[in-house]
Amino acid sequence: MNALTPRAAEQFDDLDQQKHAASLGMWTFLATEIMFFGAIFLAYTVYRISYPLDFAKAAAQLNITIGTLNTAILLLSSFFIALGVSFIQRDKAKLASLALLLTWALGFVFLLLKAYEYYDDINKHLVPTAGQPVARMFYLIYYTATGVHALHLTIGLLVVAAMIYRLYRQQFSASYYTPIELTGLYWHFVDIVWIFLYPMLYLVGRES
Amino acid sequence: MTGTTTLRQLLTLVLLMALLVITFILAHVDLGLLNTSVGLAIAAIKALLVGLFFMNLWWSDGLHRVFAIAGAFMLAILFSLALADFLSRSWLAMPGSFP
Amino acid sequence: MIPTRNYVNADVSLRSWLISTDHKRIALLYLGAITFFFLIGAIAASLIRLNLLSPDGRLLKADTYNKSFTIHGVIMVWFFLIPSIPTVLGNFLTPLMIGARDLAFPRLNLASFYIYVVGGLFTIGAILAGGVDTGWTFYTPYSTMFSNSYVLATIAGVFVAGFSSIFTGLNFIVTIHKLRAPGMTWFRLPLFLWALYATSIILVIATPVLAMALVLIAIERIFQIGIFDPALGGDPLLFQHIFWFYSHPAVYIMILPGLGVISELITCFARKTIFGYKFIAFSSIAIALFGFLVWGHHMFVSGQSVFASMIFSFLSYAVAVPSAIKVFNWTATLYKGSISFSSPMIYALGFILLFTLGGLTGLMLAFLPVNAHVHDTYFVIAHFHYIMVGGMLMGYLGGIHFWWPKMTGFMYPESWGRAAALLLFLGFNLTFFPQFILGYLGNPRRYHSYPPEFQIFHIMSTLGASILAVAYILPLGYLLWSLRYGKKAGPNPWHASGLEWQTSSPPPTTNFAITPIVTESPYIYSAENGHFIPQGSQHERTNT
């Protein structure tokens, strides 16, 4: 695949059809991811409604500083990858690489902060293995939801890294950059999941 | 054209950060039952902003928008019918019923 | 005559078959794998039916019996019923029916196959290591806290196979939206593709919810603390909600493609255009959507609130309506048609009757008072086997027979085909009709023994199952035989109107020499003289 004279794959009539198909494919995949996370969101909702006070007490123990900081980090990373896509759209490969590098760095910092936060939570005994039953339930949901999210973020980091590499190898141009666009869509989705996790986990029981 | 794209994205980011600040502050104010709804509503607006202006749904065709909304629509079904069970359990309380 | 270069002989090395991204070769790879898994599921069924010949169930220990019905369910549901028509007929036919060269994502298609195989290997591994005894439904807390069997390995297999489902559905959705040939509008699509599209929506939306249900069981089993554990304030019924949100739509994944096949068979073998094309097309979509609204009908007696149960009961009546519309429209299609009783047609007619019976008993089950009486009895088992075996499996076999000449270039011996179809119909009814009676009389399901007064029905059922076994082996035999000794089929042995019949049998690798132009609706047949108008062609329009 030559970035300057890209050709559509054999099953497609032209590049435009290929691009649209790829985009629809990624949106379909994102729909599956919404359903996947939705199930754990349901568990959270059911138990939050059933045990509002105990849930709030347990949630208020979480590190809201790291949680809020991480939310800001992901929002910023989303901005940078959107910027990266619009750069390569205008044939600015080097700027796109820079933008994606910033995205990657921010995502990586998120994971570092999360790891530290887990370490801190465990030291404070905010764990599913001991304590008041509903608190244990809350932390089980907390670790499961944020853990699955972190897994998706890690996969995102791998894919973004691959895109940075391919940009470096000049495999993308204004005429062909679909993989970067799809990577962007995936990254934004991971951001959106966290946008919901943040108030669900960190902003409960904080009223003074 | 180039300037406006970057400007649009920057504006979206600023809005997102502003909403983050607002939701953080409101969480510490006692609004009673409204706390949850407000938090979720702000999250929904943030998600909408990301979807429309970072994922470009604002400029996409109807088919893309249908695909984008499909998951949320089906989750609404999952939530409403499952909660129909959990919320109505107590209406006819029986021994051993949840919670 | 067999064209000199087609997708079969394009490259005969084993390697080329194993890494091919050609949707037709992948379909055949799936055909082999699915037949293998069906065999394993059938062996499990044989163990069950043999054990149930005696009321004390002396053939198997209770534990072994539990493992048998679990394995039968897991293999049949996830490794046979769900993939079968979509991955074999769907993969083979979709590009051909819309005039495309392949699916939208051929490499993803190949990956889907190997993901399915890996999932299958995990499950086989679990069976060989000692089996799993939780029932295919994995209800907590037994599956998470108490079962001493290989739950995790089985769950891993199902989880992995789920990705195959998701990617297959994704591929079909994008393909049908984007790769239709000029003139192939949505309302000129063969009804098989409307059904496949509806199936793909369910595959894509429902399967991920199962994935999370399995992840949550795994966490609860590994750490022995769980989201469904009452000790933490949890509710086991939450698992059932999440599980059945997938598993009810899953049964529509299984039956919808079969419903699609029937529309193709009825029109061709009654030589008549379909009655109410749009009704049938929209009914497929309606079944997919309504199918997501009814899952609580599996939980009427589990502790679900009676108010929610009433809602689910009402919605379960609603979902029967689009299915009934299909049956009415097929009947209207048959009326004043010129019917020939080919093997595919026998399967199709059997399907209509047995699917209707199965569907009616579903309505009975949706009725709360009846459900309270027959839940967890053989009545439920008979109901879903009428749909799955009497319906789906007959649809699958009918489709395999109908499109066999297209896939292989050879005709199978028709008399054997008809005999096997009739034998299947006979064996099936003997196996499962007595089970309705058993259930009504109170025989519980998943029990390895039963009260002696029920024995006569179990004997009838096992006898029927033996006949079924013969009826399955026969097609395996004569279809394979036809590959060596069968008559050459030619491009259109059935004189059918679909685009897939406008190319050679077997088709060339890129399906059509030049992209066909579609000019007609599907199913333009004349009952008077049997003539038809093909949907489109690569040449000037010809009347045959």
List, for residues C14-58, the tens digit of each pLDDT value. 999 999 999 999 999 999 999 999 999 999 999 999 999 999 999
Angstrom distance (rounded) from CA C18 to CA C25: 9
Residue B2 has a pLDDT of 47
Q: Kindly list the residues from chain C whose CB atom is less than 8 angstroms away from the CB atom of residue B65.
A: none
Angstrom distance (rounded) from CA A194 to CA A188: 10
Residue C538 has a pLDDT of 78
Same domain, yes or no: B23 and B49: yes
Angstrom distance (rounded) from CA C405 to CA C417: 13
Beta-carbon-side half-sphere exposure of residue C320 (alpha carbons within 13 Å): 20
Note whether residue B95 is domain-resident: no
The yes-or-no verdict on residue C515 having pLDDT over 80 is yes
Chain position carrying tokens 């949890």: C234
Q: Kindly list the residues from chain C whose CB atom is less than 8 angstroms away from the CB atom of residue B86.
A: 235, 305
Note whether residue B97 is domain-resident: no
> Which of C67-71's residues contact partners 24+ apart within 8 Å by CB, and which partners?
C67/C130, C67/C131, C67/C132, C67/C133, C67/C149, C68/C44, C69/C44, C69/C135, C69/C446, C70/C131, C70/C132, C70/C133, C70/C134, C70/C135, C70/C136, C71/C40, C71/C41, C71/C44, C71/C127, C71/C131, C71/C132
Lookup: tokens for A206: 């904080």
The yes-or-no verdict on residue C306 having pLDDT over 80 is yes
Q: Across the interface, which of C174, C212, C241 has its CB nearest the CB of A36?
A: C212
From the number of C-beta atoms within 10 Å of its C-beta (0-12, 13-18, 19+), residue B72 rates as middle
CB contact under 8 A, A41 and B75: yes
From the number of C-beta atoms within 10 Å of its C-beta (0-12, 13-18, 19+), residue C415 rates as exposed
CATH number, domain at C234?
Answer: 1.20.210.10
Mean of pLDDT over chain C: 95
Give the mean model confidence (pLDDT) for residues C73-91. 98
Q: Does C463 touch chain A (CB under 8 A)?
A: no
Q: Assess contact for A193 and A152: CB atoms under 8 A.
A: yes
Residue C468: domain span: 14-537
Residue A3 has a pLDDT of 63
Note whether residue C79 is domain-resident: yes
Chain C from 152 to 181: CB within 8 A of any B CB? 177
At C533 the three-state DSSP class reads strand
Residue C543 has a pLDDT of 36
CB contact under 8 A, C308 and B97: no
Q: Across the interface, which of C100, C106, C212 has its CB nearest the CB of A40?
A: C212
At C228 the three-state DSSP class reads coil
DSSP class of residue A176 equals B
Q: Kindly list the residues from chain B whose CB atom is less than 8 angstroms away from the CB atom of residue C227.
A: none
Q: Structural domain tally of chain C?
A: 1
Q: Does B81 touch chain C (CB under 8 A)?
A: yes
Spell C456-481 as b/e; 16+ CB within 10 A means b: ebbebbbbbbebbeebbebbeebbee
Q: Looking at per-residue confidence, does A207 or C145 come out higher?
A: C145
Residue C537 has a pLDDT of 83
Rg (CA), chain B: 19
Q: Across the interface, which of C245, C307, C311 has its CB nearest the CB of B91?
A: C307
- Among C25-34, C249-258, C505-514, the range scoring the smallest mean pLDDT is C505-514
Note whether residue B99 is domain-resident: no
Give the mean model confidence (pLDDT) for residues C399-407. 98
Q: Give the residue from chain C lying closest to B98, CA to CA.
A: C235
Q: Kindly list the residues from chain B whose CB atom is less than 8 angstroms away from the CB atom of residue C235.
A: 86, 98-99
Residue C174 has a pLDDT of 98
CB contact under 8 A, A79 and B54: yes
Note whether residue B98 is domain-resident: no
Q: Give the residue from chain A lying closest to C220, CA to CA.
A: A140
Interface size between A and C, measured as CB pairs under 8 A:
108
Q: Assess contact for B19 and B48: CB atoms under 8 A.
A: no
Query: For residue B14, what is the enclosing H or E element?
Result: helix B2-27
Residue B73: domain span: 61-90
Work out the widest C-alpha separation in chain B, in whole angstroms. 67
CB contact under 8 A, A46 and B16: no
Q: Give the residue from chain C lying closest to B89, CA to CA.
A: C305
Number of Cβ within 10 Å of residue B69's Cβ equals 14
Lookup: tokens for C66: 């539990």
* Chain C touching partners, 3 or more CB pairs below 8 A: A, B
Give the DSSP per-residue string, C349-402: HHHHHHHHHHHHHHHHHHSHHHHHHHTTBHHHHHHHHIIIIIIIIHHHHHHHHH
* Chain B touching partners, 3 or more CB pairs below 8 A: A, C
Query: For residue C525, what is the enclosing H or E element?
Result: strand C524-525
Lookup: tokens for C259: 């419903």
The yes-or-no verdict on residue C540 having pLDDT over 60 is no
Angstrom distance (rounded) from CA B86 to CA C67: 33
Beta-carbon-side half-sphere exposure of residue C170 (alpha carbons within 13 Å): 28
Chain C from 105 to 124: CB within 8 A of any A CB? 105-106
Query: For residue C409, what is the enclosing H or E element?
Result: none
Angstrom distance (rounded) from CA C209 to CA C217: 13
From the number of C-beta atoms within 10 Å of its C-beta (0-12, 13-18, 19+), residue A124 rates as exposed
Q: Kindly list the residues from chain A whose CB atom is less than 8 angstroms away from the CB atom of residue B53.
A: 82
Residue B90 has a pLDDT of 86
Q: Across the interface, which of B12, B23, B71 has its CB nearest the CB of A31?
A: B71
Chain A from 59 to 118: CB within 8 A of any C CB? none
CB contact under 8 A, C102 and A129: no
Q: Across the interface, which of A32, A75, A199 has its CB nearest the CB of B39?
A: A199
Chain B from 8 to 67: CB within 8 A of any A CB? 9-10, 12-13, 16-17, 20, 23-24, 27-31, 35-36, 39-40, 42-43, 46-47, 50-51, 53-55, 63-64, 67
Same domain, yes or no: B7 and B49: yes
Our CA dihedral for C462, C463, C464, C469, rounded to 10 degrees, sits at 90
Residue B92 has a pLDDT of 81
Same domain, yes or no: B53 and B86: no
CB contact under 8 A, B81 and C311: yes
Spell C192-221 as b/e; 16+ CB within 10 A means b: bbbbbbbbbbbbbbbbbbbbbbbbbbbbbb
Angstrom distance (rounded) from CA A9 to CA B46: 37
CB contact under 8 A, A184 and B2: no
Give the mean model confidence (pLDDT) for residues A6-31. 94
Q: Assess contact for C154 and C75: CB atoms under 8 A.
A: no
Same domain, yes or no: B44 and B27: yes
CB contact under 8 A, B55 and A185: yes
Q: CA of A93 to nearest chain C CA: how many angstroms apart?
A: 27
CB contact under 8 A, A83 and B9: yes
Q: Does C173 touch chain A (CB under 8 A)?
A: yes
Q: CA of C32 to nearest chain B CA: how many angstroms apart?
A: 34
Same domain, yes or no: B9 and B20: yes
Q: Give the residue from chain A lying closest to C233, CA to CA.
A: A134
Among B10, B19, B4, which residue's Cα sits nearest to residue B59? B4
The yes-or-no verdict on residue C542 having pLDDT over 80 is no
The yes-or-no verdict on residue A108 having pLDDT over 90 is yes
Q: Kindly list the residues from chain C whose CB atom is less than 8 angstroms away from the CB atom of residue A29.
A: 166, 170
Q: Kindly list the residues from chain A whose CB atom is less than 8 angstroms away from the CB atom of residue B7.
A: none
pLDDT in tens, C329-384: 999 999 999 999 999 999 999 999 999 999 999 999 999 999 999 999 999 999 99
- Among C25-39, C419-433, C520-534, the range scoring the smallest mean pLDDT is C520-534
Q: Which of A23, A41, A62, A75 to mutate to test the interface with B (most CBs of B within 10 A)?
A: A75
Q: Structural domain tally of chain B?
A: 2
Give the mean model confidence (pLDDT) for residues A43-70. 96
Q: Does B93 touch chain A (CB under 8 A)?
A: no
Q: Does B99 touch chain C (CB under 8 A)?
A: yes
pLDDT band of residue B91 (cuts 50, 70, 90) is: confident
pLDDT in tens, B1-28: 445 789 999 999 999 999 999 999 999 9
Same domain, yes or no: B39 and B72: no
Q: Across the interface, which of C177, C293, C312 has its CB nearest the CB of B77?
A: C293
Same domain, yes or no: B51 and B15: yes
Note whether residue B15 is domain-resident: yes
Q: What is the 3-state secondary structure (H, E, C) of A61-74?
A: CCCHHHHHHHHHHH
Residues 6 or more apart whose Cβ sits within 8 Å of residue C28:
C88, C92, C407
Number of Cβ within 10 Å of residue C39's Cβ equals 15
Q: Which of B81, B83, B90, B92 to mutate to test the interface with C (most CBs of C within 10 A)?
A: B81
Work out the widest C-alpha separation in chain C, in whole angstroms. 73
Our CA dihedral for C183, C187, C191, C193, rounded to 10 degrees, sits at 60
**Residue C58, amino acid:** R
Q: Looking at per-residue confidence, does C398 or C536 come out higher?
A: C398
Give the mean model confidence (pLDDT) for residues C506-531. 90
Q: Specify the CATH number of the domain A35-202.
A: 1.20.120.80
pTM (predicted TM-score): 0.96
Residue A118 has a pLDDT of 98
Q: Assess contact for A8 and C179: CB atoms under 8 A.
A: no
**Residue C504, amino acid:** S
- Percent of chain B with pLDDT strictly greater than 90: 78
Among C209, C309, C194, which residue's Cα sits nearest to residue C249? C209
Q: CA of B69 to nearest chain A CA: how many angstroms apart?
A: 8
Report the complex ipTM.
0.95
pLDDT in tens, A64-94: 999 999 999 999 999 999 999 999 999 999 9
Same domain, yes or no: B4 and B49: yes
pLDDT in tens, C190-216: 999 999 999 999 999 999 999 999 999
* Chain A touching partners, 3 or more CB pairs below 8 A: B, C
Note whether residue B35 is domain-resident: yes
